[in-house]
C-alpha cells in the first residue's frame, strides 16, 4: 500500500516536473534552439556505442556519431553529459539531458519511466569469463551450483539474470568495473553483458574470454530514451531516425563501429 502510494506520488511529481516542458512553446526543441546546444546523455564506458578513450579523451561510438548527426540536423552544438545505466532514469527525468543516446535496452522497467524512440540495435546477452577459468567452458556451464554470476546494478541484465538463474549464485556489483574485478580476481566466474561491451572486454583486456549463448537467450532491442510527454521532441527525433535510416547514415555508422551483428535488419532502407 505504502509502495503504491509512493509510486503514485512519484508519478504526480513527475507530471508536475515534466509536464511543464511538455508545453509547446516551452518544449525541449525550443530550449535546444534557444540554448544552441543539445544535451545528450552518454555512458562513456560503452565501447563502440559511446566510449571516451581514456588516452585521448575523444568520444567514439555509433551513438556519438548519431548524436553529432542529430546536433547537425538541429543546427546546434552537442553537449555530451556523462551518465550510466544506474543513473539513466534520474538523469532523464530530472532533465539533465535532452536525450540519452547510449544504446539503452528497452526494458519494461525503463519503459515505465522513459519514452523510447524506435530501436536501432538488438543484442543478446553474452557472458565474459577469464581465459583460464576451468568451470565455464560453454554457456550451459553457467547456471550450475557453485558458479558465481556477476551483473552490474541497474543494467538490464540484473533483472533478467535474477529471473533466469536457477542454480548459480548472482552477485550484483555497484559498478560495472566491479563486476569485471570480481571475475578477474576469481571471486565470480562470469559477468553478463551485451554485445558491444563484450567486444570491449575482448579488445582491451588480455584475460577476458567470451561465452556466447548456444541459442538465442534473451534479445533486448536498443533505442534512445527521452522524457515522456514531449511529443514534438519525440516526433522530431523519430523523423530524424527515419531519415538516417532511409539515407543509410545509420547503417554506415553501425558498420563503421563493426556492430553489424546486432543491427536491426531492414532498417537500412533498402
Partner 1 sequence: MSAQAGFSRRSIFLLVVLVVLLSACSATAYGLWRLRAERVDHQLEAAAMTARGFENHLTQSLNVIERSLVSLAVEGVGPASLPQALRHAPYLRSVAVVDAQERIARSTDPRNLGIRVPRADFRPAAADPLEVLRAGPIVSGRDFYDASPAGASAPVVSFIPVARDVRLDDTRWMTVVASVNTDYFLNFYSAHINPEQGVVELRGYDGRLLLSTDEKAVPGSLRPDDDLVRRLADTEVGQFEERDAAGRTMLTAYRASRAYPFVLCVRLDKEQALAVWQQEALRTGAIVAVVLLAALTLAGLYFMRFERLARERESERARLRIAAIAFESQEGMVVTNAAVEVLQVNKAFTAITGFRAEEVIGQYMNFMKSGMHDADFYAAVRTSLAGTGAWSGEILNKHKDGSIHPHYLTITAVHGDDGQTTHYVGTLTDITERKRAEVDLRIAAIAFESQEGMFIADANRVILKVNRAFTRITGYGEDEAIGQTPRLLRSGHHDSGFYAEMYASLETTGTWQGEVWNRRKSGEIFPEWLTITVVRDGAGRISHYVSALTDITLRKEAEYEIKNLAFYDPLTHLPNRRLLLDRLKHVLSSLGRSQRQGALLFIDLDNFKTLNDTFGHDMGDLLLQHVAQRLSGCVREGDTVARLGGDEFVVLLDDLHPGRPDAATQARIVADKIQKNLDEPYDLIGHDYHCTPSIGITLIDAADSSCEELMKRADLALYGAKAAGRDTIRFFDPEMQEAVSSRAALEKDLRIGLQQAQFLLHYQPQVDEHGVVIGAEALVRWQHPGLGMVAPGSFIPLAEETGLILPLGQWVLETACRQLASWAAAPGRAHIEIAVNVSVRQFRQPDFVAQVEAVLARTAADPHRLKLELTESLMLNDLEEVVAKMAALRSRGIRFSLDDFGTGYSSLAYLRRLPLDQLKIDKAFVHDVQANANDAVIARSIVALARNLGLNVIAEGVETHEQHQFLIRQGCPAYQGYLFSRPLPIDEFEQFLDAWGAANIVRHRA
Residues that bind partner 1 (CB under 8 A): 130-135, 148, 181, 184-187, 206-207
- Shortest gap between Cβ of 170 and partner 1 (angstroms)? 16
Between 207 and 217, CB nearer to partner 1: 207
- Shortest gap between Cβ of 205 and partner 1 (angstroms)? 9
- Shortest gap between Cβ of 182 and partner 1 (angstroms)? 9
Between 56 and 185, CB nearer to partner 1: 185
| Cα(270)–Cα(267) distance, integer angstroms | 8
- Shortest gap between Cβ of 131 and partner 1 (angstroms)? 5
| Cα(13)–Cα(63) distance, integer angstroms | 30
Between 132 and 216, CB nearer to partner 1: 132
Alpha helices in the chain (DSSP H): 2-19, 28-35, 62-74, 88-93, 108-113, 157-164, 176-185, 195-204, 231-246, 249-256
- Shortest gap between Cβ of 145 and partner 1 (angstroms)? 12
Between 36 and 186, CB nearer to partner 1: 186
Nearest to 113 by CA among 91, 84, 93, 98: 93
Between 144 and 232, CB nearer to partner 1: 144
As a whole number of Å, the end-to-end CA separation of the chain is: 52
Phi, psi of 251 (to 5 degrees): -65, -40
DSSP bridge partners of 8 = none
Amino acid at each position: 500500500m505504502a509502495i503504491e502510494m509512493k509510486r503514485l506520488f512519484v508519478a504526480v511529481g513527475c507530471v508536475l516536473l515534466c509536464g511543464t516542458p511538455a508545453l509547446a512553446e516551452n518544449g525541449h526543441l525550443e530550449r535546444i534552439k534557444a540554448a544552441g546546444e543539445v544535451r545528450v546523455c552518454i555512458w562513456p564506458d560503452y565501447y563502440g556505442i559511446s566510449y571516451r578513450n581514456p588516452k585521448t579523451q575523444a568520444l567514439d561510438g555509433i551513438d556519438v556519431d548519431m548524436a553529432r548527426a542529430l546536433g547537425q540536423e538541429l543546427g546546434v552544438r552537442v553537449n555530451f553529459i556523462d551518465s550510466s545505466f544506474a543513473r539513466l532514469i534520474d538523469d532523464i527525468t530530472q532533465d539533465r539531458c535532452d536525450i540519452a543516446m547510449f544504446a539503452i535496452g528497452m526494458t519494461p522497467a525503463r519503459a515505465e519511466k522513459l519514452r523510447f524512440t524506435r530501436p536501432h540495435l538488438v543484442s543478446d546477452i553474452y557472458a565474459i569469463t577469464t581465459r583460464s577459468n576451468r568451470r565455464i567452458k560453454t554457456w550451459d556451464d553457467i547456471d550450475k551450483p557453485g558458479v558465481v554470476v556477476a551483473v552490474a546494478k541497474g543494467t538490464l541484465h540484473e533483472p533478467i539474470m535474477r529471473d533466469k538463474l536457477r542454480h548459480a549464485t548472482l552477485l550484483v556489483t555497484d559498478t560495472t568495473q566491479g563486476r569485471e574485478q570480481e571475475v578477474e580476481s576469481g571471486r565470480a566466474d562470469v559477468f553478463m553483458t551485451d554485445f558491444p561491451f563484450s567486444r570491449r572486454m575482448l579488445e582491451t583486456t588480455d584475460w577476458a574470454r567470451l561465452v556466447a549463448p548456444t541459442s538465442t537467450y534473451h534479445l533486448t532491442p536498443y533505442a534512445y530514451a527521452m522524457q515522456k510527454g514531449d511529443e514534438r521532441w519525440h516526433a522530431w527525433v523519430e523523423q530524424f531516425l527515419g531519415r538516417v535510416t532511409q539515407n543509410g547514415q545509420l547503417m554506415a555508422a553501425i558498420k563503421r563501429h563493426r556492430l553489424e551483428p546486432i543491427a536491426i535488419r531492414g532498417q537500412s532502407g533498402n
